[in-house]
Chains A and B, each alone.
Chain A
Amino acid sequence: MERKTKIHAEDGKQELVITREFDLPLDLLFTAYTEPGIVEQWMGTKVLKLENKKHGSYQFVTTDPKGNKYGFNGVIHEFSPNRKITRTFEMENTPFGVQLEFLEFEQLTGDTSLLTMHVVYRSVELRDQILKLPFAQGINMAHNRIQDIVNKLK
């Protein structure tokens, strides 16, 4: 299987870079990040608030099958349509604290685009913990993720 999504995480650094090429024109890729109804679909979360502007903020809540709720929120520092979003991201009620995200959107061809997501954590240790505990992205999502892996191994 082709690895469209790439993670670049250098040893001993408190940051990582996620890149992904999409078979989508740039404006459609950007829309997926700004339309609450669409964000809800691909992130599998409920969007309580999404203010696409400088000084704006966002708030998501995800409910797992057992009814447990997981909150996510952040503040938008820079919003440049079809180009860039700089924001913070925080998983509520976890020891991970806040991370800084630089999202850059680029057109490759008329029908393809590139997303570069540069994430900066408070420390190297924290980044490594999050990488080692991928389910930390949402215990429920991770649970599903791990379940998928388990099913494949069976």
Chain B
Amino acid sequence: MNLRRDVFQSLADPTRSAILLILSSQTMTAGAIASNFDTARPTVSKHLQILTACELLDQEQNGREIYYHINAKKMKEVADFIEPFRKMWDDRFNKLETIMKKYKSKK
């Protein structure tokens, strides 16, 4: 499951998560993506390279510009994306339950 691990490692970076978030609604050039971050442009390029290598992003040449967009198929293949969403809520609700059990015993 190396691919899977690489993909999750690729996602486990706040800048890369943010790039995916930005690209979730539109296709953009590297320059336009970089303008959303304070980070130096070569750093953003590096992140784009990693995301592209994991096939989470697709590149498309349009004249002199390269446009990036999310590879929705890959995102779906990588994992059942409902599971992390479910897990996030499950964790939150577990926390709620623990806190309220303590709250009850304090009352």
What are the interface flags for B14-58 relative to A under an 8 Å C-beta threshold, 1 for contact and 0 otherwise? Answer: 100110111011100000000000000000000000000000000
Cβ contacts under 8 Å, B95 to chain A: 41-42
Say if the beta carbon of B64 comes within 8 Å of chain A: no
What are the interface flags for A122-136 relative to B under an 8 Å C-beta threshold, 1 for contact and 0 otherwise? Answer: 000000011111111
Q: List the A residue with the shortest CB-CB distance to B15.
A: A139
The A interface, classified by DSSP as helix, strand, loop or mixed, is: helix
Segment among A20-28, A49-57, A102-110 that sits at the interface with chain B: A20-28
Cβ contacts under 8 Å, B85 to chain A: 7, 130-131, 134, 137
- Given A5-B89, A131-B82, A143-B12, is A23 in contact with B5 using a C-beta cutoff of 8 Å? no
Question: Which one of B12, B89, B96 contacts A22 once the chains associate, using CB atoms below 8 Å?
Answer: B96
Number of interface residues of B (CB under 8 A): 41
What are the interface flags for B57-98 relative to A under an 8 Å C-beta threshold, 1 for contact and 0 otherwise? Answer: 000000000000000100110000110111111111111110
A134 pairs with B92, CB closer than 8 A: no
B12 pairs with A136, CB closer than 8 A: no
Cβ contacts under 8 Å, A12 to chain B: none
Distance (Å) between the CB of B71 and the closest chain A CB? Answer: 11
Say if the beta carbon of A48 comes within 8 Å of chain B: no
The B interface, classified by DSSP as helix, strand, loop or mixed, is: helix
Cβ contacts under 8 Å, A42 to chain B: 92-93, 95-96, 99
A66 to B17, CA, bound (A): 15
B14 pairs with A145, CB closer than 8 A: no
A24 pairs with B100, CB closer than 8 A: yes
Cβ contacts under 8 Å, A147 to chain B: 12
Question: Which one of A22, A41, A142 contacts B17 once the chains associate, using CB atoms below 8 Å?
Answer: A142
Cβ contacts under 8 Å, B91 to chain A: 145
A56 to B18, CA, bound (A): 31
Cβ contacts under 8 Å, A7 to chain B: 82, 85-86, 89
A139 pairs with B75, CB closer than 8 A: no
Distance (Å) between the CB of A71 and the closest chain B CB? Answer: 15
The contact sample of 8 A-B pairs, CB cut-off 8 A, is A32-B99, A38-B99, A95-B22, A96-B25, A133-B20, A143-B14, A150-B12, A154-B5
Q: When A and B form their complex, which 7 residue pairs have the shortest distance between CB atoms, in order from nearest? A: A95-B25, A5-B90, A134-B85, A42-B96, A134-B84, A42-B95, A132-B81
